[in-house]
Structure 1
């Protein structure tokens, strides 16, 4: 996949050298020579990485980085000859991901660009994988990996049967389940018209997850059928 890089560098010689080298490695480069132009390009197009010189006219690199970080976690590779500015960018909440000291070799620059992009891709894939193992309905979250439930970030203590009933309903938010279907899915056994077992577990679940169990919003009763997760 062709990666899009925003290069922010006011020195035309360095900018041209970096652009040519990264283009040869298959990257698409947009160049800004000052902070204002960089902000404009950033808002105009989606980039995969910013390569940022800290010594810029009109708006220094740290200010530009702060403005970007207000709305984005795009990876940023700093280029700088000043160690003090690099320390600020990396360690004082400015949010840079890596740096390369000037003067630098183009081979090292390419290696660092690829490393930052690789880490960013891995992080994104990890977050997506973790998110795919979570069920969300309104303020309620079910973690399928850790068999836990949370409401507004606070953990809810559920029994295994309660957790599996909630999982069944949350995985099928538009479907109403009969008591028999819930029993067969959760207990993995034949249903012998033991409605009381289901009713007790549903009642306990409502006590734990509903703001007002007498007027449930999460687990709705579908008269004549059974239960389903409510719509918000």
Structure 2
């Protein structure tokens, strides 16, 4: 299943339920994507390397190499957007999927239209490798040992580059852009995923957890990202 347009955005759907993969692929094709379908993890890794997709819809429970390992390998060579699918609703599945670099998750059964709405929201955000129009560079944001270069989309702690995913970077940048302001989960969803995004807003908590881990921060210290109980999050002071 592919389209012939050279300029089409590319999507890879990885799911061992072939009818479901075909259904998702048909929705993506209608939206102008060149679509590639895979039904096992080993095949998926090879196709992902070859296709260089813009977005991947990835089932967690694949035979052989599971979705977590596929995503882990994918993140070594691509910063494409990943929506993880899981047939189980346990929080641990969601946490595992996102910990290896997935941007969003959906629990089966789900609406293909909702999936497309989430993909559309993700693709409104810039890729790290996108061409930047020449404009006056914004100065880096510094929070103690944290240095956030929004123009280059890079974060450093004590001078060392921190390997944040695009979503993790966007969450951190949204907080850093509003020092002293507490952002609710919904406000962060609007800032990062867009106001049209629908789903579980606790997705924000998972990404904040990973941001803290990668920055060497903890929920106890909260040097860089502070929790305001019952409200949301704000950028810390670096100490």
State the aligned residue count: 135
In 2: Cα distance, 1:24 partner to 1:115 partner: 17
Choose between structure 1 and 2: higher helix proportion: 1
User: Using CA pairs below 8 Å that are at least 6 residues apart, which structure has the higher relative contact order?
Assistant: 2
Q: 3-state SS of the aligned residue for 1:95?
A: coil
Which residue is 2:17 aligned to?
11
Distance apart, 1:71 and its partner CA:
2.3
Which residue is 1:128 aligned to?
132
**Cα RMSD after superposing both structures:** 3.0
Which residue is 1:182 aligned to?
none
- Cα deviation 1:7-41 (Å, max 9, x = unaligned): 11110111111111221121111011001111111
Which residue is 1:86 aligned to?
94
- Cα deviation 1:177-212 (Å, max 9, x = unaligned): xxxxxxxxxxxxxxxxxxxxxxxxxxxxxxxxxxxx
1:74 aligns with 2:85: no
Which residue is 1:165 aligned to?
none
Which residue is 1:25 aligned to?
31
Structure 1 residues without counterparts, runs of 5 or longer: 135-142, 146-152, 155-232
1:56 aligns with 2:74: no
- Of the three residues 26, 38, 43, the one matched with 2:44 is 38
Q: 3-state SS of the aligned residue for 1:128?
A: coil
Give the 5 Å matches for 1:103-122: 103-119=109-125, 121=126
Structure 2 residues without counterparts, runs of 5 or longer: 1-6, 139-148, 152-158, 161-239
Are the equivalent residues in 2 in contact too, given 1:9–1:52 (CA < 8 A)? yes
Q: 3-state SS of the aligned residue for 2:77?
A: coil
Distance apart, 1:81 and its partner CA:
2.2
TM-score, normalised to structure 2, is 0.50
Structure 1 pair 39–108 and aligned structure 2 pair: CA distance change class (3 A): same
Q: 3-state SS of the aligned residue for 2:132?
A: helix
Runs of 4+ in 1 over 3 A off after TM superposition: 122-125, 127-134
TM-score, normalised to structure 1, is 0.52
